[in-house]
Structure 1
Amino acid sequence: MLTLLTATGARPAAWAICERLMAAQDYAGPVRWLVVDDGPEAQPIAFERAGWTVEVIRPVPIWQPGQNTQARNLLAGLAVIDDDSRLAVIEDDDWYSPDWLSHVDQQLDLAELVGERRARYYNVEFRRGRQLSNTEHASLCSSAMRGRAIAAFRAACLVRPKFIDLELWRRHPFRFLFDGGRVVGIKGLPGRAGIGMGHRDDFTGQADRDGALLSLWVGEDAELYA
């Protein structure tokens, strides 16, 4: 079984896309999807798939504009996840290829902490994409873990850094990074804003007014971001 952990709230458009991307996954095993939603209104959840269960956690107090509750929300999910789980972090506003879950499930046989390096960010509001050069860590959206790495994830969240992924990958030595372009960090969707550089007005990258870069990266799913 894979366990998925998603922190969300006040992002109904992004969440609806996330549901579609998870419905398209080719992973054939059972999945437990933990959704931690601290938005003022509960995120509408329409997801149904045989072999998958969805559990919603509503932490309090609810998120207020200007707050960063990511660590609090992830800890709320981790409180009901055992260290012997196989855990993939799924962020609600990012794109995942249909073979993402099956791929990380295989990679978790190699190491306790796995992830995709050389992250891709794409801001759909500015129509701008950027290939990053990170080779020593993966973004949180493209990280998966088991065993002692889950304990390291809890510890990383407890210190509440702004960028939890950097803290996690710094802490845990039993790790494996791979290439593949199976994840794109999508920025600029409607709703609650993110905290990473891809969300900022000064985000730099390749201009993509005709959408060719986005189509290259996500294929026919580019229509989800039109």
Structure 2
Amino acid sequence: MLTLLTATGARPSAWALCERWMAAQDYAGPVRWVIVDDGEVRQPVTFCREGWSLDVLRPSPRWKPGQNTQARNLLAGLAVIGNDARLAICEDDDHYAPDWLSHVAAELERAELVGEVRARYYNMATRRGRELGNTGHASLCCTAMRGAAIDTFRQACLRSPKFIDLELWRRHRSRHLFGGHRVTGIKGLPGRGGIGMGHKAAFTGTDDTAGSLLREWIGEDARAYG
């Protein structure tokens, strides 16, 4: 079984797309999806797929504009996830290729902490995209773990740094990084803003008014973003 952990809230448009990308996954095994939603209004969870179970947690107090509750929400999810899980982080505003879960499940056979390098970010509000040069760590949206790495992740969340992924990858030694560009960070969608640089209006990258870069990166799924 794979376990997914998603921290979400106040992003109904992004959440609907997240459900769509998970429904398209070709992973054939059972999946437990732990969803932590701290928005004032409950996300409209409509996902239903044979072999998948959903646990929706509603921590309080609810998120307010200007707050960063990511660490609190991830810890709420980790409280119901054991170290025997094979855990993949699934962020609500990113695009996942259909073979992502199958691929990451195989990669977890190689190390306790695995992730995809050279992150791609695309801001829908500014229509700019950029591939980053990270080769020593993976963004949280394309990170998976098992065993002791889950404890390392829990400790990273308890420290509550702004960038939990950097803390996790800096501290855990059983690790494996791989390429492939199966995950694209989609930023600037309607609703609650994010904390990463890809969300900022000043985010620099390739101008893509016509949408050709996004189509190159995620194919026909680009149509879902308008």
Q: Does the TM-score normalized on the shorter chain lie above 0.5? A: yes
Task: State the one-letter code of the partner of 2:131.
Answer: Q
Give the corresponding residue for 1:90. 90
Give the corresponding residue for 1:197. 197
Separation (CA, whole Å) in 1 of partners of 2:172 and 2:162:
18
* 1:108 and 2:100 are equivalent in the alignment: no
Separation (CA, whole Å) in 2 of partners of 1:123 and 1:225:
11
Give the corresponding residue for 1:123. 123
Deviations 1:113-154 (A, max 9, x none): 000000000001111000000000000000000000000000
Identity of aligned residues (%): 70
Deviations 1:80-100 (A, max 9, x none): 000010000000000000000
Separation (CA, whole Å) in 2 of partners of 1:67 and 1:201:
19
1:169-184 equivalent positions in 2, closer than 5 A: 169-184=169-184
The DSSP-based 3-state class of the residue aligned with 2:144 is strand
Deviations 1:174-219 (A, max 9, x none): 1000000100000000000000001111100000111010000000
Give the corresponding residue for 1:63. 63
- Return the offset for 1:112: 0.3
Give the corresponding residue for 2:216. 216
The DSSP-based 3-state class of the residue aligned with 1:50 is coil
The DSSP-based 3-state class of the residue aligned with 1:149 is helix
Task: State the one-letter code of the partner of 1:174.
Answer: S
Give the corresponding residue for 1:161. 161
Report runs of 4+ in structure 1 exceeding 6 Å deviation: none
Question: Which consecutive residues of structure 2, in runs of 5 or more, have no partner in the other structure?
Answer: none
Task: State the one-letter code of the partner of 1:62.
Answer: R
- RMSD, aligned α-carbons: 0.3
* 1:27 and 2:27 are equivalent in the alignment: yes
- Return the offset for 1:59: 0.2
* 1:17 and 2:17 are equivalent in the alignment: yes
* 1:143 and 2:138 are equivalent in the alignment: no
* 1:99 and 2:99 are equivalent in the alignment: yes
Give the count of matched residue pairs. 226
Task: State the one-letter code of the partner of 2:7.
Answer: A
Separation (CA, whole Å) in 2 of partners of 1:168 and 1:186:
22
